[in-house]
Amino acid sequence: MSDYIKEQILGIADNFRALAALSGDIETVARACTDTLRTGNKIMFCGNGGSAADSQHLAAELVGRYKLNRPAMNALALTVDTSILTAVGNDYGYDTVFARQLEGVGRAGDLLVGLSTSGNSRNIVLAMELARSMGIRTAALTGRGGGAMKEQADFCIAVPSDATNNIQEMHIAVGHLVCELVEQEMYGRKALFLDRDGVVNVDGGYVHRIEDFQLVPGILELCRRAKEKGYLVIVVTNQSGIGRGMFTEEDFSRLTDYMKEVFRNAGAEIADVFHCPSVDDGHPDRKPNPGLFLKACTAHGLDMASCVSVGDRERDIRAALSAGVGRNFLFSSGNGPTCATARVGTLNEVAARL
């Protein structure tokens, strides 16, 4: 028995070495998935038996997460609703169970991914035929040769095996690779989040005029260090002075443009600025709520666990933690309790820890 186990494992290893030759096809499908999601469309999976399980598995990786802590991505499996599957199968025939669902939920610009070890599953072939007429692109994961699905699909990954179990082993590995590539493309970047008043500039109380804008010592050096380390610099700031009528959105924009120019000229570019003008503590964007961080995550494709934040108040830290930011520094000379990763007295201390 031991010899048989070793023989099987070595055979699986040989299959995966051969699979490496399809790296270009895998990249093409990953890019198709990324393009689909970036345009606001969705990815749909379908398959039968073990391939149905793989369909659900891969949809879950995208909606939940694979490796990165990031927003959910728009994906679903057409294999999970037993009421639809049995009703359509009973009334129209099993060959139509995926096409019927596609007709209802599919939209032009979506992507349909069909998994079949033979490549000849009739219900997937029919769904792909319908997808083409609806402007939905298709990708097939099959065994060697590709079968009828290869002729229908826009993209095909035909793994190098004729054995059902080995094909399924490679299908889930390919699916995992695709999920990882999509995550990295969509949400693989990291950022240094900065509160503004008290971190970027000296907090003189509702600062909104250029002549009152004074940089905190060490902020330019911190941002240059962040850039060297591959971080985007993003400012997230409560600006309730707007909501209180103390200054206007135009005043804020004018100062923001000036700030970004100063940083750009110093080689410390600010990638983006997100602000909340509301005075309502229940507003999802007003810190300590995480809305500004989450908007930045979506806009810039961030892996929040790899990000760093610096704030001068506990509400800054709580907002970052709620958004899943990995490391958070409280810039404060105090010594009270904090939920931050660490309290720092200078911004140079943060720069040294990037």
Residue pLDDT, tens place only, 287-300: 999 999 999 999 99
Residues 131, 201 share a domain: no
302 strand-pairing partners: 189
Q: What is the mean pLDDT of residues 8-21?
A: 95
Q: Is residue 143 part of a domain?
A: yes
Instruction: Quote helix, strand, coil % in the chain, to nearest 5.
Output: 50, 15, 35
User: Can you give the pLDDT at residue 257?
Assistant: 98
Residues 123, 237 share a domain: no
Residues 298, 256 share a domain: yes
Give me the domain span that covers residue 26: 10-187
- CATH code at 142? 3.40.50.10490
Q: Is residue 250 part of a domain?
A: yes
Q: pLDDT tens digits for 171-217?
A: 999 999 999 999 999 988 999 999 999 999 999 999 999 999 999 99
Give pTM, 2 decimals: 0.73
Choosing from 136, 154, 187, the residue where a domain stops is 187
Q: Which of 141, 188, 203, 193 is nearest to 168 (CA)?
A: 141
> Which parts of the chain are beta strand (E)?
43-47, 75-77, 111-115, 137-142, 155-158, 190-194, 231-238, 272-276, 308-311, 327-331, 342-344
- DSSP 8-state class, residue 338: -
Residues 181, 256 share a domain: no
Q: Is residue 249 part of a domain?
A: yes
User: Can you give the pLDDT at residue 333?
Assistant: 84
Residues 166, 25 share a domain: yes
pLDDT category at 336 given cuts 50, 70, 90 is confident
Residues 25, 123 share a domain: yes
Domain total in the chain = 2
User: Can you give the pLDDT at residue 146?
Assistant: 97
Q: pLDDT tens digits for 128-175?
A: 999 999 999 999 999 999 999 999 999 999 999 999 999 999 999 999
Q: For the chain, how far is it from start to end, CA to CA, in angstroms?
A: 52
Residues 252, 183 share a domain: no
Residues 182, 203 share a domain: no
Whether the CB-CB separation of 98 and 46 falls below 8 Å is answered with yes
Residues 201, 103 share a domain: no
Structure tokens at 33: 């998935």
- CATH code at 262? 3.40.50.1000
User: Can you give the pLDDT at residue 278?
Assistant: 97
pLDDT category at 335 given cuts 50, 70, 90 is confident
Choosing from 170, 187, 204, the residue where a domain stops is 187
